[in-house]
Amino acid sequence: MLIAAIDQGTTSTRCILFNHEGQPVATAQQEHRQIYPRPGWVEHDPMEIWAHAQGMFAEALARVNARVADIAAIGITNQRETTIVWERATGKPIYNAIVWQDTRTADICAELAKDGGQDRYRAKTGLPLATYFSGPKLKWLLDHVPGARARAQDGELLFGTVDTWLIWNATGHHVTDVTNAGRTMLMNLATLDWDDDILRDLDIPRAMLPRIASSSEVYGETREGAPVAGDMGDQHAALFGQTCFAPGEAKNTYGTGCFMLMNTGETPVPSSNGLLTTVGYKIGDAKPVYALEGSIAIAGALVQWLRDNLGLIHQSGEIEALARSVEDNGGIYFVPAFSGLYAPYWREDARGVIVGLTRFVNKGHLARAALEATAYQTRDVLDAMNRDIQASIDTPQAPISPLQSLKVDGGMVRNELLMQFQADILNVPVIRPTVSETTALGAAYAAGLAVGYWRNIEDLRAHWRADKTWQPRMDDATRDRMYRGWQKAVTRAFGWVEQ
């Protein structure tokens, strides 16, 4: 028997089949269209996503001559916050999916912030008011699609993030898990239920919202009888797949964006340093485990931009060789605030800048600065995390140790230059696991636990193996000088968009 994980990401949909040792035995992947109707708007076609999920599941099975009967359970992990509304009767979306990167809700967020500021809902949700989250996107859809709000109140329309959309199509059940619900800005972290006051403020009918479940339970079965039993937002799944089960353990995923999560145990740690307080995961009836998260909007997407918009490289993998063609960044810094800056700044008025340009600078320096930008942004997040952890020492919960090492995953961890620079600028070891597809692995683990394929988290921890460790090699003076340059560059990105 195998476990299937559907990993529905920002740019592609994958299905990976895992065996009992947590090793991938088959993978199928397909990219989907990125739709940009206007500057700052990003959409996906929900029907295309569902078709690709079905197709990749079938293709993965075919690669190992497996049948649906050979699948013990299916786990789903997904791009978070991306918002879909569809007709209950027909399953037809009323609009394209509005993607997490989309900034069209800036005016809605600004209007809500007039009463209570950007942190109006932070105490309840752990989140600041930002275009990133689903609640304002759902409000935009209800405001702009004719008749949508009345139809939602009558129970004709359903809302879901991508996990809910896939589970509904696969099983007919309208459900989400706590990790995805926690990214809507509509769920109360204390009750793990939709918050009626916030729903009222955003004028969102409760009738259209899915049931909030744990991350590991049987939600329903497919038409072929396979149980769908795991559901985690992608970054939470990576935390789980990296077996960060103890408070103080952290992972950083390098994908389109970059996302660092640290396990903070069974008590949420509030952030006063621009981070998100979020549910890390909840396994069945066990207590939820919380996390601090730093979300970075642009990481691998910057390499894609150099490839697709500037033609600097032909394939993303060429960025490392180009960056290695020079000894350093030539004095330039690249702040990729294409859609504002996320953690820890939360500046929607920021836009991308390259600073420090001289005639000495060439395309190698540009490539190197682009890679370094991801590492610097990760340093911003880790410094904020350490400040929040220090502040939490005065609270009743058990103290959390500062980060001793960073587990990494995602597409960019194959870039050895970036990983070494990351270790240097953080001054902690950076560890890549043997199974780099930890997002899909986390979803598989959640599904497998629900059906008894694995007994407990100790079974899972035994599967984790390190592939490579990068030790910091940079001296303190150089590290401090380079990071000061980055901090100065970030301020140059602020205030570009006039609200």
Q: Is 81 annotated as a binding residue?
A: yes
Q: What strands, in cross-sheet order, belong to the sheet with 216-221?
A: 24-31, 12-18, 2-8, 71-78, 227-233, 216-221
Give the alpha-carbon dihedral of 363, 364, 368, 371, to 10 degrees. 60
Q: Is 75 annotated as a binding residue?
A: no
Q: Is 340 annotated as a binding residue?
A: no
Q: Is 10 annotated as a binding residue?
A: yes
Q: Is 278 annotated as a binding residue?
A: no
Q: Is 411 annotated as a binding residue?
A: yes
In sequence order, what E strands does 152-249 have? 157-160, 175-177, 187-188, 193-194, 211-213, 216-221, 227-233
**CA-CA distance, 257 to 439, in Å (whole number)?**
14
Q: Is 304 annotated as a binding residue?
A: yes
Q: Is 235 annotated as a binding residue?
A: yes
**CA-CA distance, 259 to 381, in Å (whole number)?**
9
Q: Is 132 annotated as a binding residue?
A: yes
**CA-CA distance, 71 to 6, in Å (whole number)?**
13
Kindly state the DSSP code that residue 272 receives in the 8-state scheme: S
Q: Give me the half-sphere count of Cα atoms (radius 13 Å) on the Cβ side of residue 392.
A: 26
Q: Is 272 annotated as a binding residue?
A: no
Give the burial string for 240-265 (b: 16+ CB within 10 Å, else e).
bbbbbbebbbbbbbbbbbbbbbbbbb
Which residue type is seen at 38?
A: R
Q: Is 126 annotated as a binding residue?
A: no
**Helix-strand-coil split of the chain, %, nearest 5:** 35, 25, 40
Other beta carbons within 10 angstroms of residue 286's beta carbon come to 13
Structure tokens of 245? Answer: 């089960």
Q: Is 234 annotated as a binding residue?
A: yes
Contact 412, 374 (CB under 8 A): yes
Length of the chain: 499
Binding residues for sn-glycerol 3-phosphate: 10, 80-81, 132, 234
Binding residues for glycerol: 80-81, 132, 234-235
Binding residues for ATP: 10-12, 256, 300, 304, 411
Binding residues: 10-12, 14, 80-81, 132, 234-235, 256, 300, 304, 411, 415
Binding residues for ADP: 10, 14, 256, 300, 411, 415
